[in-house]
Amino acid sequence: MDFLAHFVESAFFYPDRRRYWRPGHYGLKGTEFECQAPSGAVLSGLLLHAGGGFEEHPAGTVVYCHSGRMNREFNLPQAAFLAEAGMNVLLFDYEGCGRSGGSPSLDRLGEDVEAAAGWLDASPWKAERYVLFGQFIGADAALQYYSAHPKRVAGLALESCYATRRGWVKDKWGPLVGDILARFLHSQTVEPAQVLRNSHVPTVVICPGRDFVVHSRERKALLAAIPPHAQVWKAEGLRFLGVFGGQKNIWQESLVQFVREKCFGVKEGKKKGSRNKTGR
């Protein structure tokens, strides 16, 4: 039975330890670090420093929670555009991903975010509040952190987020098989839909039109839980991880504007390098 429990939970993660993208590929600077999660595992992380003329006074700080695919280096293109637009971006690997120690765990995702944010809080680049940007299990991680530390969060951006973990298992394997396997998922942490329903910060939910990781039933369940103040962006024709990765596009521009204006209160027309109310 333990084998089935491990098999079901591991389906959420596809980690590896290969090397992929570096800050220098984008003309950016980064500070690598290690921090310890509550479980005792040592996590590997990177602070991607703001570019675009905001090096001394970033327009804000984004904590990026990656999708669980490969590692933080593989997912760096998903968040590099935010640094290019003048924000510090914190990236890290969950337990059991990339160069981080330990074993992957859905229930410890929020604790991993907390550990990485704790390192940032003790660094010269600390900010009062952070925007959390998460994709797939990263959206789950972001919501777990927000549930525990709502006053530290300035906004949420969630792509390909499932409503419940067991619901995702049922959607992945379909009737009967999915129903049986979902019983072996030993997850006790508050579900994403529940946190989202009670959220009060600026929030955008991004739904790729060709999403191959979150299927229709879970997508509908999540959308039913969205509070009135949240935005929904439907990226028709685009695949999972195809909305923000790659060349400059309207979705990147829209997310930059959302983070700067809605979350950090940076108005268009401010001179580069000026401070804002909530971020360094």
> Residue 255 phi/psi, 5° resolution?
-70, -40
Q: How long a stretch of residues is the chain?
A: 280
45 versus 269: the higher-pLDDT residue is: 45
Minimal CA–CA distance to 15: which of 76, 75, 62, 89? 75
Helix, strand, or coil here: 32? strand
Q: Is residue 277 part of a domain?
A: no
CA-to-CA distance for 221 and 71, rounded, in angstroms?
28
The CATH number assigned to the domain holding 61 equals 3.40.50.1820
- Residue range of the domain that includes 187: 2-263
Q: Is residue 278 part of a domain?
A: no
* Neighbour tally for 98: CB within 10 Å: 24
Contact by Cβ (8 Å): 139, 65: yes
Q: Are strands 14-15 and 69-70 parallel, antiparallel or unpaired?
A: parallel
Contact by Cβ (8 Å): 71, 93: yes
CA-to-CA distance for 148 and 146, rounded, in angstroms?
5
Q: Is residue 125 part of a domain?
A: yes
Kindly report, residue by residue over 199-243, the tens digit of the pLDDT: 999 999 999 999 999 999 999 999 999 999 999 999 999 999 999
Confidence of residue 44 (pLDDT cuts 50, 70, 90): very high
Kindly report, residue by residue over 252-266, the tens digit of the pLDDT: 999 999 999 999 998
Query: Could you give the number of structural domains in the chain?
Result: 1
| 271 pLDDT higher than 50 | no
Contact by Cβ (8 Å): 174, 164: no
Q: Is residue 275 part of a domain?
A: no
| Average pLDDT in the chain | 94
Q: In the Cβ-directed half-sphere of 99, how many Cα atoms lie within 13 Å?
A: 15
Contact by Cβ (8 Å): 91, 83: no
pTM over 0.85: yes
Helix H or strand E encompassing 98: none
Kindly report, residue by residue over 120-166, the tens digit of the pLDDT: 999 999 999 999 999 999 999 999 999 999 999 999 999 999 999 99
Contact by Cβ (8 Å): 222, 161: yes
Mean pLDDT on 108-130: 97
Helix, strand, or coil here: 55? coil
Helix, strand, or coil here: 73? helix
